[in-house]
Amino acid sequence: MPVGQRLCETGRWSYRATDNVRFLKLSERRVMTNVILLGPPGAGKGTQAKTLADRTGLTHVASGDLFRAALREGTELGMLAKSYMDRGELVPDEVVIRMILERIQQPDCASGVIFDGFPRTQEQARALEVALADHNARIDAVLFLAVPQDVLLRRIAGRQTCRTCGAIFNIYYFPSHRPGICDACGGKLYQRSDDSIETAQHRLDVYFAQTMPLIEYYQRQGILHEIDGQREIALVTEAMLKALSPYLAPAQP
Ligand code: AMP
């Protein structure tokens, strides 16, 4: 069996008594691959995660997107998260952990997840490990997108996101063909409220203080792959897919 591939009991994984979902029998086993995209705000995690999910069939789970969706729906979680996001602060660990662990119980996560923006603290990393271990699963690979600090601010401040499909553009590096209009679906582009220069700088400071230690944490586990995130988007994608290839090989009979 290729490195990093294990059998996971998808039955226990996807079943919740309250869910109106198909119950997969415990005897039904599948290969599961879990990947974390690690990197500072503006490194390109969201852009790459979407493409990687399409190319690998893994499910993209982005903590920031979940908070923004909760906010659009006007839930308590969304309102709580907004107060932290607007200041560029991290939402408290217990709130993020609960939200992510609930999300990965959904059936679409049964054969593997690309985590984007989570974990961001050691506490979150440990909680994820424990939850996955409960299901005979683990983190197989961590892809660390390395981008120098001076490039990051421009990337964040120039970022535009489609309201309809979530596609990401950048007015400096990757502009849409028609200003303010999404190339993919024709939806309207907007700038995230936490992408102003001041908030972006604070988000970077928070990243260096709280999330950077995770690089060493995963390095020690031997699962960290550093990817040069400065290159063209397509080249970065290829480098990531290459790093992931040992974990994505088809299961042996
Ligand atoms: P992102 O879209 O990943 O840049 O996240 C936007 C904002 O959501 C962050 O600046 C935080 O306020 C919050 N957030 C997202 N993920 C996490 C996390 N794992 N832990 C704490 N806060 C988070």
In a domain, 213, yes or no: yes
In a domain, 204, yes or no: yes
**Number of domains, the chain:** 1
Q: Which residue has the tokens 């503006």?
A: 42
Q: Is the pLDDT of residue 244 over 90?
A: yes
Beta bridge partners of 36: 115, 142
Q: Is 103 a catalytic residue?
A: no
In a domain, 40, yes or no: yes
Mean pLDDT of the chain: 86
| Domain with 139 in it | 6-247
pLDDT (tens digit per residue) in 34-45: 999 999 999 999
In a domain, 253, yes or no: no
Contact 28, 10 (CB under 8 A): yes
Packing angle of the helix pair 197-206, 149-157 (nearest 10 deg): 140
For 129, the 3-state DSSP assignment is helix
For 76, the 3-state DSSP assignment is helix
In a domain, 117, yes or no: yes
Confidence of residue 19 (pLDDT cuts 50, 70, 90): very low
- Compute the distance from residue 90 Cα to the ligand 1 centre, in Å: 6
In a domain, 122, yes or no: yes
What pTM, to 2 d.p., does this model score?
A: 0.82
Ligand 1 interacting residues, C-beta cut-off 6 A? 41, 63-64, 67, 84-85, 88-91, 96, 117-120, 124, 194, 203
Contact 23, 15 (CB under 8 A): yes
Of residues 20 and 245, the one with the higher pLDDT is 245
- Compute the distance from residue 85 Cα to the ligand 1 centre, in Å: 7
Minimum CA distance residue for ligand 1 atom 15: 64
In a domain, 24, yes or no: yes
Counting other chains too, the contacts that 73-81 makes at CB distance below 8 Å and 24 or more residues apart are none
Given the residues 68, 103, 120, 155, the one annotated as active site: 120
For residues 196 and 152, give the distance between their C-alpha atoms in angstroms, rounded to a whole number: 12
Q: Is 6 a catalytic residue?
A: no
- Compute the distance from residue 202 Cα to the ligand 1 centre, in Å: 12
Packing angle of the helix pair 63-72, 93-103 (nearest 10 deg): 90
Helix (H) or strand (E) holding 115: strand 112-116
Note the pLDDT of residue 183: 97
Q: How many CA atoms lie within 13 A of 75 on its CB side?
A: 10
pLDDT (tens digit per residue) in 35-78: 999 999 999 999 999 999 999 999 999 999 999 999 999 999 99
Token pair recorded at residue 24: 């997969």
In a domain, 78, yes or no: yes
Note the pLDDT of residue 249: 58
Least Cα distance to 202 among 88, 90, 91, 92 occurs for 88
Q: Is 126 a catalytic residue?
A: no
pLDDT (tens digit per residue) in 205-237: 999 999 999 999 999 999 999 999 999 999 999
pLDDT (tens digit per residue) in 66-122: 999 999 999 999 999 999 999 999 999 999 999 999 999 999 999 899 999 999 999
Note the pLDDT of residue 22: 33
Least Cα distance to 110 among 21, 250, 13, 36 occurs for 13
Contact 205, 196 (CB under 8 A): no
Contact 144, 35 (CB under 8 A): no
Confidence of residue 18 (pLDDT cuts 50, 70, 90): very low
DSSP 145-162: EE--HHHHHHHHHTEEEE
For 152-168, letters b (16+ CB in 10 Å) and e give bebbbbbbbbbeeebbb
Check which CATH number belongs to the domain holding 31 and give it.
Answer: 3.40.50.300
Q: Is 45 a catalytic residue?
A: yes
Q: Which residue has the tokens 């990817």?
A: 227
Q: Is the pLDDT of residue 6 over 50?
A: no
